[in-house]
């Protein structure tokens, strides 16, 4: 038996199928709220100068805490919002963790220095507290800027800026008697 559908009906069915399937195709991420114990993650972040205008970010993970198992870890920096509020990735580099001799796992990624204020390590997980997240992947962000060494940056910026002029002394008060 053959079923014939009009062109309009076929078009409506195709559009309906695309709309229903699109929810499964789009990646939906939601942020994890602040936690006083940072979700019991135990990690270390180091930022090192590399060649020229690049930084190397080394991420060491000792314990996945309440986010176990972690799906992925990326170094990301988003662009400034456009007119409509949309953003794109200025930096998106995976951090692949490898076992270290002390039982932890470590990985690294590089980025240009100009993105350091917006850069973060983004940890994605499908499980929180052992429960599968049905609304999408949860993420936890670790800002890179707070791991920058402030003393060398301050010294280099002081060397780059011209010295401040000496303070101008106020004229001495003179006593005038008439």
> What is the per-residue pLDDT across 82-115, written as a single tens digit (0 to 9) for each?
998 888 999 999 999 999 999 999 999 999 999 9
- What CATH code is carried by the domain that includes residue 71? 2.60.40
- The answer to whether residue 52 sits within a structural domain is yes
Count of domains forming the chain: 1
Q: How confident is the model at residue 152 (pLDDT cuts 50, 70, 90)?
A: very low
Q: H/E element holding 159?
A: helix 150-160
Give the Cα separation of 56 and 111 in Å (integer): 7
Query: Does residue 54 lie in a domain region?
Result: yes
| Domain extent for 54 | 27-150
**Does 155 reside within a domain?**
no
pLDDT reported for residue 106 = 97
Is 77 within the bounds of a domain? yes
For residue 174, the surrounding DSSP H or E stretch is: none
Q: Are strands 137-143 and 29-31 parallel, antiparallel or unpaired?
A: parallel
Does residue 156 fall inside a structural domain?
Answer: no
Flag whether 1 is in a domain. no
Given a contact cutoff of 8 angstroms between Cβ atoms, the answer to whether 124 and 29 are in contact is yes
Confidence label for 74 from pLDDT (cuts 50, 70 and 90):
very high
Model confidence at 2, in pLDDT bands (50, 70, 90)?
low
Give the distance, in angstroms, between the CA of residue 3 and the centroid of all CA atoms in the same chain.
53
**Mean pLDDT on 75-84:** 93
Answer whether residue 87 is part of any domain.
yes
pTM equals 0.68
The answer to whether position 107 is within a domain reads yes
Contacts by 168-171, CB closer than 8 A, 24 or more apart: none
What does the CA dihedral 142, 147, 148, 151 come to, rounded to 10 degrees?
A: 150
Mean pLDDT rounded to a whole number for the chain: 81
pLDDT tier for residue 27 given thresholds of 50, 70 and 90 = low
> Judging by beta carbons within 10 Å of its beta carbon (0-12, 13-18, 19+), is residue 68 exposed, middle or buried?
middle
Max mean pLDDT range (20-24, 36-40, 76-80): 76-80
């Amino acid at each position: 038996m053959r079923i014939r559908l009009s062109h309009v009906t076929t078009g409506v069915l195709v559009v309906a199928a695309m709309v229903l399937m699109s929810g499964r195709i789009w990646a939906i991420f939601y942020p994890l709220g602040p936690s006083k114990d940072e979700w019991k993650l135990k990690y270390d972040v180091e930022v090192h100068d590399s060649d020229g205008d690049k930084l190397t970010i080394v991420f060491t993970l000792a314990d996945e805490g309440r986010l176990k198992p972690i799906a992925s870890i990326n170094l990301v920096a988003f662009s400034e919002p456009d007119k409509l509020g949309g953003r794109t990735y200025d930096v998106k580099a995976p951090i692949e963790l490898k076992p270290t001799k002390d039982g932890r796992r470590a990985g690294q990624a590089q980025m240009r220095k100009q993105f350091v204020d917006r850069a973060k390590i983004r940890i994605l997980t499908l499980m929180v507290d052992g429960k599968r997240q049905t609304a999408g992947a949860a993420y936890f962000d670790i800002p890179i800027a707070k791991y920058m060494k402030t003393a060398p940056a301050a010294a280099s910026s002081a060397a780059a800026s011209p010295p401040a002029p000496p303070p101008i002394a106020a004229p001495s008060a003179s006593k005038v008697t008439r």
